[in-house]
Amino acid sequence: MTRSTETPRPYRSYVYAYPHKTAYRPLPERPPLDALWADEPKDALSLYAHIPFCEVRCGFCNLFTRIGAPGELTTRYLDALDRQAVAVREALGDAAPVRFATAAFGGGTPTYLSAAELERLCDIAELRMGADLRAVPLSVETSPATATADRLAVLAERGATRLSIGVQSFVEEEARAAVRPQRRADVEAALGRIRDTGVPVLNIDLIYGIDGQTETSWRRSLDAALGWRPEELYLYPLYVRPLTGLGRQPRGLDADREWDELRLRLYRYGRDHLLARGYRQVSMRMFRRADAPALGPDDHACQTDGMIGLGCGARSYTSRLHYSFDYAVGTREIRSIIDAYTETADFSRAEVGRPTDADEARRRHLLQSLLQAEGMAGADYADRFGSSPFADFPAELARFEELGWLDTDAPGGLLRLSPEGLAHSDGLGPELFSPAVRAAMAAYEAK
């Protein structure tokens, strides 16, 4: 495959899953779930429940979510989630052990739900799916406005081990610039309530690259977050994407290199600031306090094990197919998809997705492993695929090495990114996309 000789831009795409849902297409055969899962290992599954509601839509957000839930919509949504859970658990069968090794509630904002509705969500996960939420790591996302004492008490009692709050910036002017209006006092109060729950892991999300942000203001946010001694911190680069609030506004910075340089400078500053204060880098985005407690038993490997997604924005993974429901970013289309989901009676078939062949499986494994700071053991890759990543992706890895993105001092047999490779994760990741996935993503019409 021909590759450009230019250095990839450092901020091309956040690769949190491969292939991206913009590469998914309607599945004409609508395969039944029981057939999809019949021969899959099901003893270390991940469970994800998607709640597509928020109290406000941030200017940078392209997540599958809507503002508000009028007319008992949350009730109808949970009714549909319950029906889907019943159908999925039936499809998994009992011929082989079915066990969930990890669970997460995301969105949207799961804590948009009331305390009673969060109880029901936990019941669906436990009573319908069979997930033991008190025995596995359970991560839940929240926001300053919805992290109320009654909601947090439910999550703590039902087994949450990690609460992740999207603060983005402790500087009120920056929050407004990101179309995330919030008072710092309200953010601090929410963090206090989270700490009061005793949930062992607090994660704080921060964003760099906001218009007007400087190293000085960035440090103010970093230090404000560090004041809470969070077990985890995620540092996200700001993206301006089509059909989002910021995407509809004129850019205050040069569209390309000037903004890239600013984000890289702020990333390096934030990385070094956290490393000097007792945090270790897990990935480009994730930093974990060196003395943070373990989350508990977690034997799910995202590279190899299956995932069950419940909700209209969740995706599920088998070894041969990734599937979900329709995807959109625009408000009208999202509302239409949510409404259709709440009216669905039969959840026994996969509707939208993308098959995974041997080449895509290799690419996904390499992506999911290489973008972690610890890197990938070549022996693990060889055990699974019977080959070497250097034999399967010689041009890509040679280019990464030429760019200085591979750690030449890594122990023998370990493929690991250099510090600059990690810094360029969002440029490196898309270089490993297959031609077919690239074409499908390019042909996707944003809606």
Cα 238 to Cα 206: distance, rounded to the nearest angstrom:
10
pLDDT for 335: 87
- Give the SS3 label for residue 306: coil
Specify the pLDDT at position 239: 84
DSSP H or E segment with residue 172: helix 172-177
Residue 44 is given by DSSP the state: S
Q: What is the dihedral of CA 250, 242, 170, 270, to 10 degrees?
A: -100
- Maximal CA-CA distance, the chain: 60
Cα–Cα nearest to 162, from 298, 65, 61: 298
How far is Cα 403 from Cα 389, in angstroms, rounded to an integer?
Answer: 18
Q: Which residues have CB under 8 Å from 137's CB, separation 6+?
A: 102, 103, 161, 162, 295, 296, 297, 298
In sign, the C-alpha dihedral spanning 252, 257, 260, 265 is negative
The pLDDT score that the predictor gives to residue 62 is 55
Predicted pLDDT at 113:
96
**In this structure, what token pair is assigned to residue 351?**
């509707």
Gyration radius of the chain over CA positions? 21
Q: How high is the pLDDT of residue 247?
A: 45
238 and 205 in contact (C-beta within 8 Å)? no
pLDDT by residue, tens only, the chain of 447 residues = 444 557 788 998 888 889 998 999 999 999 999 999 999 999 999 999 999 988 765 544 556 667 767 779 999 999 999 999 999 999 999 998 999 999 999 988 999 999 999 999 999 999 999 999 999 999 999 999 999 999 999 999 999 999 999 999 999 888 888 767 789 999 999 999 999 999 999 999 999 998 889 999 999 999 999 999 999 999 999 987 544 444 444 454 456 788 899 999 999 999 999 999 999 999 999 999 999 988 766 677 787 889 999 999 899 999 999 999 988 877 888 888 999 999 999 999 999 999 999 999 999 999 999 999 999 999 999 999 999 999 999 999 999 999 999 999 999 899 999 999 999 999 999 999 999 999 999 999 877
ω into residue 19 within 30 of 0, thus cis?
yes
Residue 271 · residue 244 · CB < 8 Å: no
Give, to the nearest 10 degrees, the angle between helix 73-92 and helix 331-342: 60
Altogether, the residues listed in the chain come to a count of 447
**Cα gap 184→33, rounded to integer Å:** 46
Kind and range of the H or E run holding 162 = strand 162-168
Place of tokens 């945090």: 279
Class of residue 377 by CB neighbours under 10 A (exposed 0-12, middle 13-18, buried 19+): middle
Nearest in space to 432 (alpha carbons), one of 23, 24, 19: 19
